[in-house]
């Protein structure tokens, strides 16, 4: 056989962990020969020879990458090591295998890329930005992106891999960031916030302090060991709870918190609790007294004499008023419950919502409308009235209190959605609740709305950006969808196909068989403002329809699918 040309753009290298020259596993310097073996005669031709470094590494460059070689390691006093059928990598081209894709938490990227070609070592730089908090790095030949981000939306980033011989490869990376909503994102921040992430001071398994994670840092404490609630490290679906014994246990507020409900127009309290047993008495979970005496200015309870074992909220506008409140329609004991009580002193109303249901409301309360008395509460507690005569027995996972501004309907939906998903109880939400199928997230306001102002949102996708939409080159996007909300008609593995041309996008929702809910698609701009809406028609087990609009190249759009 004619001897081929051995010159070219390939290279062979001995690198950690597998290609080093070693003796009994210890790297040593050795002679490394690259040979070509004639397939007809088995005659070997020396192509190149080099000496490996003391760490066992070596490199031969400039050889024909289309030929298979024999590589032989020669070490004095030891048998030669021969490897047959070795194909060089190309010096002039970098390739990658593997994937980088949005992780399950939708906060970053999972997976990795294996780099081949070009001369190592490699470096990586960011050409088109990643979301804040994500950083690429290369370990040997493996490229990963680590970190988490809250910069919601679809990001089309570009990473540039550069080899030691200046060969580069630009790698497009798409990541969809969905940031979870929390009570910190309310328009008016909570004044008190206790949950399983609020630190507790553990005294032999009991809590001497439960830290307030609001910006006020009004930590509730208990100095007597016999009155400390018990810590349950995984009391509710793996999350920590505190258990009050119903006779002695309570936590008390610092002096700074006593003015929270002074001279205010409204207050609200969300509790996640499980009441133990039954009682004909008041069972206060959160209790703030009036400014003179121990009567309740605001009390959130698991029951009251007039609403036995029913979630109940009551209070007084003026210190001299009789109490006024409202209870839920049904008794609940021995079951984890989410309850939101609201006292609107400016309109003389009280309302209570349980597990995301529509509120029960009482009107015409107290002596008149206005602000509460301009006096500090004489006391404030968790698990007890301030004089100790009324006690709550059971477990508590979260207590969140707001003052002065009542959350909107959409925010109340988010409060229940947050607590339901945080504590593993979405099944308690009504079937048509907007967060029955996925926890609330931070995004364009109109992408995930409440039932009070919009239809049920079946799902949405962070649609397209850059040249994907509005590209003048014709159909550019196929099977681009990533669902952020399962909805009653979509489950895992189902999704959306989008095909775009210069002005329109065609939408097909797949694997909905049969379509049991009339649906429509809404195209929104990056601020969540609807551009156009189209009814989707059922065809062959799918929904189809065209969303037409003037789409700007380089802009970001969103697509929301909702019940028609």
Q: What is the CATH number of the domain that holds 176?
A: 2.60.40.10
Asked if residue 29 belongs to a domain, the reply is yes
* Residue 117 and residue 47 share a domain: no
Measure the CA–CA gap between 232 and 243, rounded to whole angstroms. 7
Measure the CA–CA gap between 513 and 535, rounded to whole angstroms. 18
Asked if residue 192 belongs to a domain, the reply is no
* Residue 265 and residue 167 share a domain: no
pLDDT at residue 184 greater than cutoff 60 = yes
Q: What is the CATH number of the domain that holds 58?
A: 2.60.40
Q: Which two tokens stand for residue 513?
A: 């068989």
- Which tens digit of pLDDT belongs to each residue from 199-247? 999 999 999 999 999 999 999 999 999 999 999 999 999 999 999 999 9
Q: Which of 153, 150, 211 is nearest to 181 (CA)?
A: 150
* Residue 282 and residue 382 share a domain: yes
Q: Which of 462, 454, 494, 369 is nearest to 106 (CA)?
A: 462
* Residue 104 and residue 80 share a domain: no
Asked if residue 2 belongs to a domain, the reply is no
* Residue 535 and residue 398 share a domain: no
How many whole angstroms from its chain centre is CA 214?
A: 20
- Which tens digit of pLDDT belongs to each residue from 2-36? 889 999 999 998 875 567 888 888 999 999 999 99
Asked if residue 437 belongs to a domain, the reply is no
- Which tens digit of pLDDT belongs to each residue from 107-129? 899 999 999 999 989 999 999 88
Give the gyration radius of the chain's Cα atoms: 33
Most confident of 48-62, 137-151, 347-361, 446-460: 347-361
* Residue pair 102/176 in contact by the 8 Å Cβ criterion: yes
Q: Which carries the bigger pLDDT value, residue 465 or residue 385?
A: 385
- Which of 397, 427, 457 lies at the terminal end of a domain, its last residue? 427
How many whole angstroms from its chain centre is CA 229?
A: 31
Q: Which carries the bigger pLDDT value, residue 443 or residue 450?
A: 443
Average pLDDT, integer, range 254-258: 98
Backbone φ and ψ for 164, nearest 5 degrees, come out as -65, -25
pLDDT at residue 503 greater than cutoff 50 = no
Q: Which carries the bigger pLDDT value, residue 464 or residue 307?
A: 307
* Residue pair 94/163 in contact by the 8 Å Cβ criterion: yes
Q: Which of 556, 541, 488, 261 is nearest to 379 (CA)?
A: 261
pLDDT for 16 equals 59
pLDDT for 277 equals 93
Asked if residue 240 belongs to a domain, the reply is yes
pLDDT for 378 equals 98
- Which of 401, 427, 453 lies at the terminal end of a domain, its last residue? 427
b/e code 276-311 from CB counts within 10 Å (16+ = b): beebeebbbbbbbbbbeebbbbbbbbbbbeebbbbb
Asked if residue 403 belongs to a domain, the reply is yes
Measure the CA–CA gap between 512 and 543, rounded to whole angstroms. 8
pLDDT for 484 equals 32
pLDDT at residue 460 greater than cutoff 70 = no
Sequence-distant (≥ 6) Cβ neighbours of residue 2 within 8 angstroms: none
* Residue 210 and residue 300 share a domain: yes
Neighbours of 46 (CB within 10 A): 11
**Number of independent structural domains in the chain:** 4
Asked if residue 176 belongs to a domain, the reply is yes
* Residue 397 and residue 258 share a domain: yes
* Residue 384 and residue 510 share a domain: no
- Which tens digit of pLDDT belongs to each residue from 319-341? 999 999 999 999 999 999 999 99
Measure the CA–CA gap between 291 and 294, rounded to whole angstroms. 8
Tell me what the pLDDT averaged over the chain comes to: 83
pLDDT at residue 512 greater than cutoff 80 = no
Band (pLDDT 50/70/90 cuts) for residue 459 is very low
The DSSP secondary-structure symbol of 389 reads S
HSE at residue 351, side-chain half, CA atoms within 13 A, is 16
Q: Where do the DSSP E strands lie in 94-252?
A: 94-102, 109-117, 123-128, 135-139, 142-146, 153-162, 168-177, 179-180, 192-194, 200-203, 206-210, 220-221, 230-236, 239-245, 251-252
Asked if residue 263 belongs to a domain, the reply is yes
- Which of 65, 89, 113 lies at the terminal end of a domain, its last residue? 89
Q: Which of 546, 513, 231, 547 is nearest to 397 (CA)?
A: 231
Q: Tokens 């793996």 identify what position? A: 238
pLDDT for 19 equals 78
Residue 12, helix vs strand vs coil = strand
pLDDT for 14 equals 83
Q: Which of 11, 265, 218 is nearest to 118 (CA)?
A: 11
* Residue 283 and residue 138 share a domain: no
Average pLDDT, integer, range 477-495: 31
pLDDT at residue 461 greater than cutoff 50 = no
pLDDT for 559 equals 58
Q: What is the CATH number of the domain that holds 369?
A: 2.60.120.200
What percent of the chain has a predicted confidence (pLDDT) above 90? Answer: 63
Cα 191 to Cα 78, 269, 469, distances in angstroms: 76, 10, 44
Neighbours of 185 (CB within 10 A): 15
* Residue 135 and residue 61 share a domain: no
Q: Which two tokens stand for residue 32?
A: 């490394």
pLDDT for 546 equals 52
pLDDT at residue 485 greater than cutoff 80 = no
* Residue 410 and residue 470 share a domain: no
Measure the CA–CA gap between 552 and 12, rounded to whole angstroms. 48
The burial of 370, by beta-carbon neighbours within 10 Å (0-12 exposed, 13-18 middle, 19 or more buried), is given as middle
Measure the CA–CA gap between 122 and 161, rounded to whole angstroms. 7
Q: Which two tokens stand for residue 152?
A: 């919601």
Domain that holds residue 452: 443-563
Quick one: CA torsion of 353, 358, 364, 369, rounded to 10 degrees?
70
Lowest-confidence range among 230-244, 345-359, 410-424, 498-512?
A: 498-512
pTM of the model: 0.63
* Residue 366 and residue 256 share a domain: yes
Q: Which carries the bigger pLDDT value, residue 409 or residue 249?
A: 249
């Amino acid at each position: 056989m004619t001897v081929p040309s051995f010159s070219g753009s390939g290279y062979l290298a001995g690198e950690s962990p597998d290609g080093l020259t070693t003796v009994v596993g210890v790297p040593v310097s050795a002679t490394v020969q690259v040979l070509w073996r004639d397939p007809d005669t088995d005659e070997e031709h020396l192509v190149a020879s080099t000496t490996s470094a003391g760490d066992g590494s070596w490199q031969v460059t400039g050889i024909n990458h289309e030929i298979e070689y024999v590589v032989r390691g020669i070490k004095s006093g030891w048998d030669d090591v021969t490897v047959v059928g070795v194909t060089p990598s190309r010096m002039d081209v970098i390739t990658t295998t593997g994937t980088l894709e949005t992780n399950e938490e939708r906060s970053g990227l999972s997976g990795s890329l294996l780099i081949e070609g070009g001369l190592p070592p490699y470096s990586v730089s960011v050409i088109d930005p990643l979301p804040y908090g994500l950083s690429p790095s290369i370990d040997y030949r493996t490229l990963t992106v680590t970190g988490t981000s809250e910069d919601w939306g679809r990001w089309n980033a570009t990473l540039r891999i550069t080899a030691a011989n200046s060969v580069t490869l630009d790698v497009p990376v798409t990541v969809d960031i969905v940031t979870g909503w929390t009570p910190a994102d309310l328009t008016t921040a909570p004044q008190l916030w206790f949950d399983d992430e609020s630190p507790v001071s553990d005294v032999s398994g009991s809590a001497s302090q439960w830290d307030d994670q609001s910006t006020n840092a009004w930590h509730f404490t208990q100095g007597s060991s016999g009155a400390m609630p018990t810590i349950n490290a995984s009391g509710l679906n793996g999350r920590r709870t505190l258990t009050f014994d119903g006779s002695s246990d309570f936590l008390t507020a610092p002096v700074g918190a006593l003015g929270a409900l002074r001279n205010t127009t409204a207050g609200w309290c969300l509790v996640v609790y499980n009441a133990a047993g039954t009682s004909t008495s008041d069972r206060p979970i959160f209790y703030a007294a009036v400014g003179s005496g121990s009567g309740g200015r605001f009390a959130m309870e698991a029951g009251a004499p007039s609403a036995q074992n029913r979630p109940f909220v009551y209070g007084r506008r003026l210190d001299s008023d009789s109490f006024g409140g409202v209870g839920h329609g049904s008794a609940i004991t021995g079951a984890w419950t989410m309850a939101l009580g609201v006292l609107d002193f400016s309109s003389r109303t009280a309302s209570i919502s349980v597990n995301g249901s529509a509120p029960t409301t009482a009107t015409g309360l107290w002596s008149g409308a206005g602000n509460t008395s301009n006096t500090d509460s004489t006391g404030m507690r968790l698990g007890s009235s301030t004089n100790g005569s009324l006690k709550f027995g059971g477990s508590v996972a979260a207590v969140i209190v707001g003052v002065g501004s009542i959350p909107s309907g959409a925010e109340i939906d988010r409060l229940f959605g947050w607590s339901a998903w945080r504590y593993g109880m979405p099944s308690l939400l009504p079937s048509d609740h907007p967060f029955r199928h996925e926890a609330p997230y931070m995004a364009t306001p109109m992408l995930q709305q409440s039932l009070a102002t919009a239809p049920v949102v079946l799902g949405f996708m962070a649609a397209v950006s850059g040249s994907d939409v509005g590209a003048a080159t014709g159909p550019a996007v196929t099977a681009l969808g990533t669902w952020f909300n399962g909805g009653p008609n979509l489950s895992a593995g189902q999704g959306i196909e989008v095909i775009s041309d210069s002005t329109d996008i065609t939408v097909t929702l797949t694997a909905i068989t049969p379509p049991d809910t009339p649906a429509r698609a809404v195209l929104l701009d990056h601020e969540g403002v609807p551009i156009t809406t189209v009814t989707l028609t059922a065809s062959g087990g799918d929904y189809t329809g065209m969303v037409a609009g003037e789409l700007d190249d380089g802009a970001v759009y969103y697509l929301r699918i909702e019940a028609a």
